[in-house]
Amino acid sequence: MDLYEKLLSGEEKLSLVGLGYVGMPIAVAYAKKIKVVGYDFNAAKVELYKQGIDPTREVGDDAIKETSVEFTADPEKLRECKFHIVAVPTPVNDDHTPDLTPVEGASRTLGKYLTKGSIVVYESTVYPGVTEDICVPILEEESGLKCGVDFKVGYSPERINPGDKVHRLDTIVKIVSGMDEETLDQVAKVYSLVALAGVYKAENIKTAEAAKVIENSQRDINIAFMNELSMIFNRMGIDTQAVLKAAGTKWNFLSFQPGLVGGHCIGVDPYYLTYKAEQLGYHSQIILSGRRINDDMGKYIAESCVKKLIAGDIAVKGAKVAILGFTFKENCPDTRNTKVIDIYNELLEYGITPVVVDPEADADEAERLYGIKFNSMDDVKDMDAVIVAVAHKEFVPYTREKIASFFNASNKTRIFLDLKGIYDRKDYTAPEYEYWRL
Q: Cis omega before residue 55 (within 30°)? A: no
C-alpha radius of gyration, the chain, whole number: 24
Rounded CA gap, 437 and 231, in Å?
A: 10
Burial (CB count within 10 angstroms: exposed 0-12, middle 13-18, buried 19+), residue 164: middle
Q: Where are the alpha helices (DSSP H) in 116-158?
A: 130, 136-143
Burial (CB count within 10 angstroms: exposed 0-12, middle 13-18, buried 19+), residue 139: buried
CA dist 89 to 21, 102, 194, 315, Å?
10, 6, 21, 42
Burial (CB count within 10 angstroms: exposed 0-12, middle 13-18, buried 19+), residue 27: buried
Closest to 404 in 3D by CA, of 422, 424, 427: 427
**Helices and strands in the chain, H and E counts:** 16, 13
The beta-carbon contacts of 133-136 under 8 Å, at least 24 apart in sequence, are: 134/100, 134/103, 134/104, 134/107, 135/86, 135/103, 135/104, 135/107
Closest to 87 in 3D by CA, of 155, 14, 36, 17: 17
Q: Of 81, 135, 147, 265, which residue is the catalytic one?
A: 265
Question: Is 265 considered catalytic here?
Answer: yes
Closest to 274 in 3D by CA, of 98, 89, 94, 91: 98
CB 400 within 8 Å of CB 301: no
CB 164 within 8 Å of CB 133: no
Rounded CA gap, 355 and 319, in Å?
A: 11
Give residue 214's identity as a one-letter amino acid code. Answer: I
Rounded CA gap, 174 and 308, in Å?
A: 47
Rounded CA gap, 201 and 128, in Å?
A: 16
Catalytic residue numbers read 265
